Chains A and B, each alone.
Chain A
Amino acid sequence: MNMKKQGLAFYLNVLAVILGIVGVILTVVSSTMTTDNALSNLPVLVIAGIVGIILVCIAIYAPNRWGNHDPVSFISVVAAIALYSYLFGAAVSQRIMLIAGLFSYNSGNTAGWSIFYVSVAAWVCLIVGILFLIVGSFLKSVKE
């Protein structure tokens, strides 16, 4: 790949990869901080995240071979958004009761607050990554 030829979407997608990696790592960290608050399907979530990251990598590479707005990168970005969203949504749904407790009857749960902060960081990474992918899909990946 000729770096001089890369468009804005390329850089946004690279950032989305980095954010995806950080998001997955933080999700794993949040799940392993205590055994009692582990995410029930962590392996599935991690695989979803990794596949999403790989798809974004494909979306970065594909335009260099087939040009902007090629079907491969299109499908890869859409699928990656779906997988990032799944990772985010599945993690949130499993943390709702914890968060409800922290903000009401269980505000003294220091371990829970730590999990909450790490989880929020993971979710921010994933959401921003998704936003970058969406914005990037409207922009050119390679200069023509």
Chain B
Amino acid sequence: MEAWNGDEFEFEGAGYNLNQTMIDIYDKLNETYNHATNENPEEVYDPGEPSISEIEGINSSYKDSFAQYGDAAIVVISRPSAESKDYLPGGIKEGLGAEEPLALTTNERDIIEVAKESFDKVIVLVNTATAVEIGDLKNDPEIDAILWIGFPGCYGMLGVADVLCGRTSPSGGLFDIFPTYNMSAPAMQNMGKMYYTNTAEEITRTGGVLGFVPGAYTIEAESIYVGYRYYETRYYDSVAGTGNASDPTGAYASTTEWNYDNEVAYGFGYGLSYTTFSFEFEGEPVFDITVDPETGAPNAYATFNVKVTNTGDVAGKTPVQIYGQAPYTPGGVEKSAIQLLNFEKTEVLNPGASEVVSVKVDLQYIASYDETYDNGDGTTGTYIMDPGDYYFSVGNGAHDALNHIMAAQGMDASKMSGTGNAAQAYKKTIDEDFISKTLFSVSKTGYKISNQLPYADWNYYQPGEVTYLTRTDWAGTFPQTYDAMTLTNEELINNLNGYTYELQTDDDTSSIVWGEDNGIQFYEMYGVPYDDPKWDDLLDQLTLEEAMYIFSFGGPSIPGAESIGTVETYMTENAGNGIAVALNASKDPTAPWAIPAEDPNGNWHPQVFGNAPLGASTFNPELMRELGEFTGIESLFTGINILWGPGLNTHRHAYNGRNGEYYSEDPVLSGVAAMEFAIGALDYGLVAAPKHFAFNDQESERGGVSPYMTEQRAREVELRAYQIAFEATKYDTEDYDAGMRGLMTSFSKIGSIECTTSEGLMTEILANEWGFIGYAVTDIYDDVDLWAAVLNSGTTCFDTRGQSGFYDQTTLESSNLFRNLIGGMSLNANLIDGDANLQLKLKEAVHKNIYAWSVSHLMNRYNATTHIESQMTWWRATYYGLMGVSAALMVVGAVMYVVSSKGKKKEEK
């Protein structure tokens, strides 16, 4: 095709005949129910669906049109996802016939009923980024198909059309579990807006330039049991008859028992196809376990070869999901009964065809974090592998995989939901001789792992006030709602008020070199490894003030540093699946990236892809990487070398209004998706900076919220996704330690400490354990009042959107962002003159920033002659010209006025 006209992307363009009568009705109704392109969730939500009577009000004989299009009705159920707002429990407009915002309203159900009455086939498209409550639709025999389509972007409806007509077979798996009632998730007992009872008395820190409300918190009492980990583990225990799992506590569908079938509509990772597949392990898995003799760093993998056969009648492909189960002892370390370990995807298999797919599992992800483990060196807490029987299985989602394990364990099939195939499970007995209990107590960098986030746990400060969910007693520990916590602990209050770093004023800093002339320029650093001494020489050239500029202003505009030959540059863009800078944004027709006016893609807006959950649901690493590669190419056109994305927070629950930007509730699925994206992007010099590191679990009061949780939960759920992405072990070679080179921190705290100021998070875990080297920027204007503590933690710069003109109109002293630092100080070029620790941290932060620049295509702009030359563009000349003309007219007017006044007075005389 020579040019796209847009019709190709509608259903009609894909060969469907649409009912024009209904289109006209909805066009008319759209005047009343005007849906924005990027609509927000609301705390009191109204999906804005018209009633049948309103449809009749537009065209009372609308049903007459059905005869002509009677073969199939497509009903679309939508819920938006966007930044800054969540859905809240019970937060739905009154009178809609639903008690929760993600439940179907009367009007939505009524239109489905009309479809059922009038059409041979009824298809429901679920256009959401989160789990909506469709359990009864699942069980409705008159509904022929339900297809979750995510937010398909500008072109995804083509794929939907292809799937519906059978041109292609669907091949994904659900990104989250779809419970019958979202409120049944233990996480839902503590979400939304909760404030300390004595905020006014104890919290002195202000809300910053973004006006955040101090004193908000959430107790994540569900422990590790997020999403499917809760439902599947409780299911397992209910069949096993352990842990009071069948007790009705926490059940929403029954007052007498907790039952999986009642509580869950569709499981995590579950997906359908027009064909069917069989899965069988091809031989024994291959275990490859080595330990670095020098550092003790483990490399422990199991490769499962799975023979997948298309046993149906049409061609199709399928994910190959490997799950695992670690042995659980009541009262011991919490363990999920099932967890995703890795996945791959088959090629398209014709009927009868087979393919052996190898899935390599990193065994560290089946290890458990034991916060109480005595490391014998004065520290506590590390990853452990309890000796016992470990199970691995391949299945169509977590529930199917768990059933296979349960079948292999000989559990009572009559109590199970669904059936299991023992042949799809594999048991491996692990003892000290095979994998030592503490094999994973050392990270891949060779760093000893121990507790780093004790302050994440409310009980650390005020013991015994919070009960975390344990599978030892589901009924007795199902989370209560902690909505009236009172601050009594002094350290807790001190932390919340931001007093976590004491600035030194009289350290001896004479050995720290600034302003040296070593004759090195930034452009010479291309390809220089991070630990090469040449970096030290370059960094020594910076003046202390230049380094403070680089740390303080991290983008989008970054300051230049004359001493190393960098210039002020616009560097970053804020987006998830693409760069939101129109390709034809440049009006300079001579620019190398200029798009000719006649180019049919001139108005292409790059943010066209499906949203993150949709990408995750493909379970297709290759596709995830292609998206990164495409965005990398796009970044070359747009001149953006760091992307503040993708979103990598966990879907703690379905009510997070921003779930559409994050992949999944599962850290492995999320981590792999982000890793593939980042590696693909970096191939073209685009540094992906996933956000928001970490624990950005809700939008409600996101700016000041303190999520309290156990360190086990923090590491096994939230942080694991980042760990997978940052370590990028899949792409390591002997010569190159692959990884992401950027991140954005979270607005939220971890417990009482801001993520941006947490040394445990930013230095111990991120840098030391995972080996992260790169650009670690705050979220917009976040924690600017904690400038010194942010620098101390290992965060490398601030997001200072809107600030530019450095050394001139924007200085360290004049920027409005850094005027109200904790302790009554304000930023100035001499602030850390007497603090040796911060000067060294500053060097390190700047080193990481500049290193990230050097591996990006920012380098394309640098050589020995790089400098800034002011250009007199036509619009600037016009601007100055208009100012000059206005000034001249004013002067002439004034003169004429005076002359005329004098003339009038003379005449009067």
Contacting pair A94 B816 (CB below 8 A): yes
Stretch with Cβ within 8 A of B (4 or more), from A17-25, A30-38, A44-52, A125-133 = A30-38
Please name 17 pairs of A and B residues whose Cβ atoms are closer than 8 Å in the assembled complex, sorted by A: A36-B208, A40-B814, A67-B905, A70-B901, A71-B898, A74-B898, A78-B894, A97-B209, A97-B801, A100-B802, A106-B84, A107-B40, A107-B84, A109-B210, A111-B211, A112-B210, A112-B211
Q: Does B904 contact A (CB under 8 A)?
A: yes
A78-101 near B? 1/0 per residue, CB < 8 Å: 100000000000000010111011
Interface residues on B, range: 20 to 34
Which of B85, B208, B814, B820 has a CB less than 8 Å from the CB of A108?
A: B85
Minimum CB–CB distance from A29 to chain B (whole Å) comes to: 16
A residues sitting closer than 8 Å to B (CB atoms) are 34-38, 40, 67, 69-71, 74, 78, 94, 96-98, 100-101, 105-112, 115
Complexed CA–CA distance, A34 and B210 (Å): 11
Question: What residue in chain B is nearest A74 (Cβ atoms)?
Answer: B897
The 5 lowest CB-CB distance pairs between A and B, nearest first, are A109-B211, A111-B211, A112-B211, A69-B901, A97-B802
B187-222 near A? 1/0 per residue, CB < 8 Å: 000000000000000000011111111000000000
Q: Does B780 contact A (CB under 8 A)?
A: yes
Q: Does B437 contact A (CB under 8 A)?
A: no
CB within 8 Å for A106 and B210 given contacts A69-B904, A94-B816, A97-B801? yes
Minimum CB–CB distance from A95 to chain B (whole Å) comes to: 10
Contacting pair A40 B816 (CB below 8 A): yes
Q: Which residues of B contact A40 (CB under 8 A)?
A: 814, 816, 819
Question: What residue in chain B is nearest A71 (Cβ atoms)?
Answer: B898
Complexed CA–CA distance, A5 and B208 (Å): 54
Contacting pair A105 B83 (CB below 8 A): yes
Contacting pair B211 A106 (CB below 8 A): yes
Complexed CA–CA distance, A110 and B213 (Å): 9
Q: Which residues of A contact B213 (CB under 8 A)?
A: 110
Q: Which residues of B contact A71 (CB under 8 A)?
A: 898, 901
Q: Which residues of A contact B801 (CB under 8 A)?
A: 97
Q: Which residues of B contact A78 (CB under 8 A)?
A: 894
CB within 8 Å for A36 and B894 given contacts A105-B780, A109-B211? no
Q: Which residues of A contact B212 (CB under 8 A)?
A: 109
Complexed CA–CA distance, A97 and B820 (Å): 17
Minimum CB–CB distance from A100 to chain B (whole Å) comes to: 7
B residues sitting closer than 8 Å to A (CB atoms) are 40, 83-85, 206-213, 780, 785, 801-802, 814, 816, 819-820, 894, 897-898, 901, 904-905
Q: Which residues of B contact A108 (CB under 8 A)?
A: 84-85
Q: Which residues of A contact B84 (CB under 8 A)?
A: 105-108
CB within 8 Å for A36 and B85 given contacts A106-B211, A109-B210, A109-B211? no
Question: What residue in chain A is nearest B901 (Cβ atoms)?
Answer: A69
Q: Which residues of A contact B207 (CB under 8 A)?
A: 34, 36, 111
Contacting pair A35 B206 (CB below 8 A): yes
Complexed CA–CA distance, A36 and B213 (Å): 13
Q: Which residues of A contact B901 (CB under 8 A)?
A: 69-71, 74
Which of B83, B209, B897, B905 has a CB less than 8 Å from the CB of A36?
A: B209
Q: Which residues of B contact A111 (CB under 8 A)?
A: 207, 211
Complexed CA–CA distance, A115 and B820 (Å): 18
Contacting pair B780 A36 (CB below 8 A): no
Question: What residue in chain B is nearest A37 (Cβ atoms)?
Answer: B209
Contacting pair B894 A98 (CB below 8 A): no
Q: Which residues of B contact A38 (CB under 8 A)?
A: 819-820
Task: Point out which of B206, B207, B814 has the most chain A C-beta atoms below 10 A from its C-beta.
Answer: B207
Minimum CB–CB distance from A10 to chain B (whole Å) comes to: 18
CB within 8 Å for A37 and B211 given contacts A69-B904, A97-B802? yes
Complexed CA–CA distance, A110 and B894 (Å): 46
Task: Point out which of A35, A78, A97, A110 has the most chain B C-beta atoms below 10 A from its C-beta.
Answer: A97
Minimum CB–CB distance from B396 to chain A (whole Å) comes to: 38
CB within 8 Å for A110 and B897 given contacts A40-B819, A96-B802? no
Question: What residue in chain B is nearest A101 (Cβ atoms)?
Answer: B210
Q: Which residues of B contact A96 (CB under 8 A)?
A: 802
Complexed CA–CA distance, A100 and B803 (Å): 13
Complexed CA–CA distance, A113 and B465 (Å): 37
Complexed CA–CA distance, A35 and B210 (Å): 12
CB within 8 Å for A98 and B85 given contacts A40-B816, A71-B898, A78-B894? no
Question: What residue in chain B is nearest A115 (Cβ atoms)?
Answer: B211
